[in-house]
């Protein structure tokens, strides 16, 4: 009875009062948060002030308040732009490929590696697969370009399997998106698997022992114990991934693409780079960025709501 009253009283306590009580009780923990908080405030929240230039014909010498207010002019210009559908299509298609092939890969890798009996071999494999994450993006893209030249490793394998004459794969637009997705998986799957390894350690080992007694094999244990055990982690990361469906790093694409493959390689981020930095249309490129962020926000809310309704697992 006393515990129930305590829980009820705790629920009725104002948020800031509980926060202050926690800060007094655990001051060192909150002190550790300060650098992270400062980072996000400085590099993620403070720059959001710059979004207002999307509603102005911004001139750097005049400043924001000195520039002419134009409302939704730049948003309409983007929607009517001849490159709108191309950049949207490419951004969504690459992200869908990454979602379908890149997202499950670290999960499968973590589960398979967890089944290895040799701890030494597991550690060596983990170290090797983590390494590409720490290699510079410029180097990774350079290696990919070399691999896909007419005499490169990937081109040679592809030619042997398909029977086609070897050509530079990055000179043909049809190959860009699959190659980009392949490169992203190669660079990040080992690093992305870390969080799934952490989730695997939280599964109660007694469940595996009980499954052994019942005569379950490895496959049955993976299906009925391992995957359900890490499913909350998978769902949370899937929601976050869906919330970034309109986001795609411009750096890798800029290092890989060329005018011959613009049709399949030009995405929203590279379009913003060209228009904003190379053509100095700051307001227009900011409007494109705001549009992109709003779509991502809607996708995140939708994915979170669906997940909460279907399986009671969500970000909030």
Q: Tens of pLDDT along 236-262?
A: 888 888 888 888 877 888 888 888 888
- What are the CA-CA distances from residue 161 to residues 154, 164, 165, 178, 293 (Å)? 11, 8, 11, 16, 41
Confidence of residue 5 (pLDDT cuts 50, 70, 90): very low
Residue 25's contacts (CB-CB under 8 Å, 6 or more residues apart) are: none
CA dist., res. 39 & res. 251, Å (int): 22
What span, in angstroms and rounded, lies between the C-alpha atoms of 139 and 152?
16
CA 250, 256, 260, 264 dihedral sign is negative
Distance of alpha carbon 59 from alpha carbon 66, whole angstroms: 8
pLDDT value at residue 4: 47
Report the alpha-carbon distance of residue 93 to residue 82 in Å, rounded: 18
Cα–Cα distance for residue pair 159/147, rounded to 1 Å: 13
Q: How confident is the model at residue 101 (pLDDT cuts 50, 70, 90)?
A: very high
What does the pLDDT look like over 148-167, one tens digit per residue?
Answer: 988 889 999 988 888 888 88
Domain assignments of the chain as residue spans, ordered by start: 2-47, 81-311
pLDDT tens readout for residues 276-300: 777 788 888 888 888 888 888 888 8
State if pTM tops 0.95: no
Domain 81-311 in CATH 1.10.3720.10? The answer is yes
Give the tens place of pLDDT for each residue, 129-144.
Answer: 989 999 898 999 999 9
């Amino acid at each position: 009875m006393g515990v129930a009253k305590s829980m009820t009283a705790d629920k009725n306590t104002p948020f800031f009062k509980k926060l202050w009580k926690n800060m007094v009780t655990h001051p060192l923990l909150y002190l550790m948060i300060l650098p992270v908080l400062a980072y996000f405030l400085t590099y993620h929240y403070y720059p959001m002030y710059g979004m207002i230039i999307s509603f102005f014909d911004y001139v750097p010498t005049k400043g924001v308040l000195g520039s002419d207010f134009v409302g939704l002019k730049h948003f309409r210009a983007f929607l009517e732009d001849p490159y709108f559908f191309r950049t949207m299509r490419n951004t969504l298609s690459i992200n869908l490929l990454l979602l379908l092939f890149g997202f499950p890969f670290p999960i499968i890798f973590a589960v398979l590696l967890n089944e290895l009996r040799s701890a030494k071999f597991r550690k060596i494999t983990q170290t090797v697969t983590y390494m590409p994450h720490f290699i510079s993006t410029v180097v990774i893209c350079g290696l990919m370009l070399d691999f896909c030249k007419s005499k490169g490793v990937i081109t040679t394998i592809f030619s042997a399997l398909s029977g086609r004459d070897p050509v530079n794969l990055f000179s043909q637009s049809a190959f860009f998106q699959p190659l980009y997705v392949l490169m992203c998986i190669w660079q990040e799957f080992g690093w992305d698997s870390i969080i799934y390894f952490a989730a695997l350690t939280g599964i109660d080992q007694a469940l595996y022992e009980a499954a052994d007694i019942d005569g379950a094999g490895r496959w049955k244990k993976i299906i009925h114990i391992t995957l359900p055990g890490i499913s909350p982690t998978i769902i949370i990361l899937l929601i976050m991934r869906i919330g970034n469906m309109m986001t795609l790093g411009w750096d890798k694409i800029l290092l890989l693409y060329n005018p011959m493959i613009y049709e399949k390689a030009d995405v929203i981020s590279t379009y913003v780079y060209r228009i904003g930095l190379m053509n100095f249309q700051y307001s227009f490129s900011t409007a494109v960025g705001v549009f992109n962020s709003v779509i991502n926000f809607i996708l995140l809310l939708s994915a979170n709501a669906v997940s909460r309704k279907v399986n009671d697992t969500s970000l909030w």
